[in-house]
């Protein structure tokens, strides 16, 4: 009896391993790149397309990952610190040895749209090919033409240091079977042209969902909760659905301004969003910014309501306002009105209107670096107050500010502040 | 409309001060300059960048912290203990100057400042650094970097920092126990 069970279990195990091996072989992966892309583009076509490609590469924010801070453009090497190890971006300059100089048009298309590099190597999904899959092939041609027109950089790629089993690239083939849905955001003929363009700009080019849509246990983007907000590196990438944006106080004009300048009455872009605006969305055309707003807020944007002060205990008001006048008002103004080029207004700040106080607490505890925004605006560095203020003081500050200016009635507890310190 | 005030008590340069009625939203710099006639801390940029306005906050655990008074409210210092630049020199019972603090003397000997507007901030920053090194000495090889990190944020528009820097290094090296190895 026991021997029989063992035999059955062994057989099952062999079957599972075999099934996994077949899946991991990539045999079931579906390329969206047709054979017509095997045909190389003529040199004059490449020259024609390069300028259009520059705009598209900016819009898709290739630079932010494929250029290291202070490193040569397009040479890769930026370290992405993940919970499972360090992943490094690759050299996509046209160097023939270290970059993509020897890549054919079809190989480039497969990397961008299928997530499969030259020689069949699976790319890690930090490369947002799940979003780029929806890119128009002619746009990918233009991106290829632009990148091939750049200066080649002789900089070798550096190894990743990922823990087992995340260091096994064939496993990505299995992940791809689940993670690459068939056309998740189709065009809708009942909607305006701007909305449909916005769909493309937001979901394919801008790949906004890679951060703003939550992921499931398999780290696959959960499109049933499309753009409803997720935590990225301890910071909340907020809900940017029409409801979420309206709750933060965004209407189309302010949203466009925020994405072009990084600054709006709703606050300053910080953390990764600052890089997104700096490298990418500030370069979007006015038409694409409008399209983005039409798509995210809808052709008929929700009517905004100013945040109404929520009720908060008088002792919390007194204690919170005391902390505010002590260490915040000097830069942000006594009434939270802000000072241009010094500190943002807080009365209208989106971080106070979010359901979670996470982003607000991160800024208070750990501060923010000084920033220069597209155009001439800048903001001074904000000091962190982790060592100067107690959990209780920060809790009072957060509870009062969120109630008074964010319309959020729920108290922030000292325990939550203690947790945010870690 | 009247300005809302609250009583404020604190310890300034070892002396109890207050209670004094002080406007709710008054910055500490105005309180020191206008209420206590302690004019050593100076208004420079008014936005917390230049550090001409700094004073020392003595924490209950013995650590000292440099605070920018142009952006910190007076009431933040309620019941706390602070030192301004007026406190560093040695004085006799009548309050007459007996001897400058080593950092102050070194700044003069090195011709570290010209107009002097930033000097009280540099004295404050250097004092906090020296007191920290008394508790936590640094390796000799790290001294230059440590001085730069501690004073980097202080802005001087006359003499270009080198003389301030050399004066601080001289004091640190001449004071026993601040540097290891």
ipTM of this complex prediction, to 2 decimal places? 0.90
Residue A349, C-beta contacts closer than 8 angstroms, at least 6 positions apart: A266, A267, A336, A405, A406
pLDDT band of A259, cuts 50, 70, 90: very high
Q: Tell me what the mean pLDDT of segment A367-394 comes to.
A: 94
- For A335, the closest chain B residue by CA position comes to B25
Q: Tell me what the mean pLDDT of segment B129-153 comes to.
A: 95
pLDDT for A241 beyond 80 = yes
Give the separation between CA A324 and CA B72, rounded to whole angstroms.
10
B71: chain A residues, CB-CB within 8 Å: 327, 330-331
How much is the pLDDT for B1? 59
Q: Tell me what percent of the residues of chain A surpass a pLDDT of 70.
A: 98
Say if the Cβ atoms of B70 and A326 lie within 8 Å: no
How much is the pLDDT for A11? 74
pLDDT for A16 beyond 80 = no
Q: Are A413 and A393 in contact (CB under 8 A)?
A: no
How much is the pLDDT for B28? 98
Q: Tell me what the mean pLDDT of segment B102-116 comes to.
A: 95
Give the separation between CA A121 and CA A345, rounded to whole angstroms.
48
pLDDT digits (tens, 9 = 90+) for A51-71: 999 999 999 999 999 999 889
In a mutational test of the A interface, the residue from B71, B78, B80 whose CB has the highest number of chain A CBs within 10 Å is B71
Instruction: Please give the model's pTM, rounded to 2 decimal places.
Output: 0.89
Say if the Cβ atoms of B73 and A330 lie within 8 Å: yes
How much is the pLDDT for A305? 73
Our CA angle for A363, A367, A372, nearest 5°, is 100
Start-to-end CA span in chain B (Å): 63
B5: chain A residues, CB-CB within 8 Å: none
Distance in Å, alpha carbon of A325 to nearest chain B alpha carbon? 6
Backbone angles phi, psi at B107, to 5 degrees: -60, -40
Q: Which helix (H) or strand (E) holds A398?
A: helix A391-406
pLDDT digits (tens, 9 = 90+) for B44-74: 999 999 999 999 999 999 899 999 999 999 9
pLDDT for A355 beyond 80 = yes
Distance in Å, alpha carbon of B124 to nearest chain A alpha carbon? 18
The one-character DSSP state at A334 is T
A61: left (phi over 0), alpha (psi -120 to 50) or beta: left
pLDDT for A31 beyond 70 = yes
pLDDT band of A2, cuts 50, 70, 90: low
pLDDT for A14 beyond 80 = no
- Average pLDDT taken over every residue of chain A: 92
- Comparing A11-25, A127-141, A296-310, the range with the smallest average pLDDT is A11-25
How much is the pLDDT for A1? 58
Nearest of A24, A271, A58, A38 to residue A147 by alpha carbon: A58
pLDDT digits (tens, 9 = 90+) for A85-126: 999 999 999 999 999 999 999 999 999 999 999 999 999 999
Burial of residue A4, with CB atoms counted within 10 A of its CB: 0-12 exposed, 13-18 middle, 19 or more buried: exposed
pLDDT digits (tens, 9 = 90+) for A217-231: 888 999 999 999 999
Q: Are A324 and A316 in contact (CB under 8 A)?
A: no
Domain ranges, ordered by start, for chain A: 25-179, 193-297, 314-421
pLDDT digits (tens, 9 = 90+) for A66-91: 999 889 999 999 998 888 899 999 99
pLDDT for A332 beyond 90 = yes
Give the separation between CA A157 and CA A259, rounded to whole angstroms.
32
Fold type of domain A193-297: Cytochrome Bc1 Complex; Chain D, domain 2 (1.10.760)
pLDDT for A288 beyond 90 = yes
Of the partner residues B25, B48, B49, the one whose CB lies closest to the CB of residue A334:
B25
Fold type of domain A314-421: Cytochrome Bc1 Complex; Chain D, domain 2 (1.10.760)
A334: chain B residues, CB-CB within 8 Å: 25
Say if the Cβ atoms of A331 and B71 lie within 8 Å: yes
H helices of chain B, in order, are 28-30, 102-109, 119-135, 143-151, 162-174
H helices of A119-221, in order, are 129-132, 137-148, 171-179, 193-199, 209-212
Strands lying side by side in the sheet with A85-88: A79-82, A85-88, A161-162
Are β-strands B15-23 and B54-58 bridged in parallel, bridged antiparallel, or unpaired? Answer: unpaired
Q: Do A193-297 and A314-421 show the same overall fold? A: yes
């Amino acid at each position: 009896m026991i021997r029989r069970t063992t035999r059955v279990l062994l057989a099952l195990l062999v079957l599972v391993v075999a099934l996994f091996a077949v899946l991991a072989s990539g045999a079931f992966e579906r390329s969206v790149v047709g054979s017509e892309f095997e045909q190389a583009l003529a040199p004059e076509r490449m020259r024609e397309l390069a300028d259009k490609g520059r705009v598209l590469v900016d819009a898709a924010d290739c630079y932010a990952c494929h250029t290291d801070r202070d490193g040569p453009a397009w040479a890769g090497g930026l370290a992405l610190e993940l919970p499972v190890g360090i992943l490094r971006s690759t050299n996509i300059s046209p160097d023939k040895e270290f970059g993509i100089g020897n890549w054919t048009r079809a190989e480039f298309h497969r990397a961008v749209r299928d997530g499969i590099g030259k020689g069949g190597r699976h790319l890690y999904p930090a490369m947002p090919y799940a979003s780029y899959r929806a890119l128009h092939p002619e746009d990918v041609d233009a991106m290829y033409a632009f990148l091939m027109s750049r200066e080649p950089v002789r900089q070798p790629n550096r190894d990743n240091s990922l823990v087992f089993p995340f260091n096994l690239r064939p496993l990505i083939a299995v992940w791809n079977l689940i993670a690459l849905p068939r056309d998740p955001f189709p065009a809708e003929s009942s909607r305006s042209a701007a909305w449909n363009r916005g769909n493309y700009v937001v979901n394919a080019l801008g790949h906004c969902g890679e951060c703003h849509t939550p992921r499931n246990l398999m780290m696959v983007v959960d499109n049933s909760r499309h753009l409803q907000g997720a935590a990225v590196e301890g910071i909340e990438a907020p809900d940017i659905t029409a409801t979420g944006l309206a709750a933060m106080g965004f209407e189309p004009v302010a949203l466009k301004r925020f994405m072009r300048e990084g600054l709006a009455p709703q606050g300053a872009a910080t953390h990764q969003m600052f890089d997104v605006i700096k490298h990418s969305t500030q370069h979007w055309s006015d038409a694409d910014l409008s399209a983005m707003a039409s798509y995210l807020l809808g052709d008929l944007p929700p009517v905004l309501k100013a945040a109404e002060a929520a009720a908060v205990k008088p002792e919390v008001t007194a204690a919170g306002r005391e902390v505010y006048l002590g260490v915040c008002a000097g830069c942000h103004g006594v009434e939270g009105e802000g000072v241009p080029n010094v500190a943002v207004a807080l009365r209208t700040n989106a971080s106070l209107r979010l359901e979670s106080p996470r982003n607000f607490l991160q800024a208070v505890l750990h501060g923010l670096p000084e920033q220069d925004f597209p155009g001439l605006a800048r903001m001074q560095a904000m000091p962190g107050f982790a060592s100067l203020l107690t959990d209780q003081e920060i809790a009072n500050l957060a509870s009062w500010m969120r109630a008074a200016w964010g319309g959020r009635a729920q108290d922030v507890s000292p325990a939550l502040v203690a947790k945010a310190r870690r | 409309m009247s300005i809302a005030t609250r009583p404020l008590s604190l310890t300034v340069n070892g002396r109890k001060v207050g209670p004094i009625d002080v406007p709710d939203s008054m910055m500490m710099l105005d309180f020191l300059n206008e209420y206590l006639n302690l004019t050593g801390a100076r208004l420079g940029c008014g936005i917390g960048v230049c550090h001409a306005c700094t004073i020392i906050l003595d924490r209950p655990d013995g650590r000292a912290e440099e605070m920018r008074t142009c952006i910190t409210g007076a009431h933040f210092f309620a019941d706390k203990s602070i030192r301004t630049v007026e406190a560093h020199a040695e004085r006799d019972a009548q309050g007459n100057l007996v001897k400058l603090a080593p950092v102050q003397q070194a700044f003069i000997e090195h011709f570290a400042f010209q107009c002097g507007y930033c000097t009280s901030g540099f004295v404050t920053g250097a004092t906090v650094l020296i007191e920290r090194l008394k508790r936590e000495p640094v390796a000799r090889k790290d001294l230059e970097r440590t001085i730069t990190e501690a004073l980097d944020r202080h802005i001087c528009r006359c003499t270009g920092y080198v003389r301030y820097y050399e004066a601080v290094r001289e004091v640190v090296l001449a004071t026993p126990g601040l540097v290891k190895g």
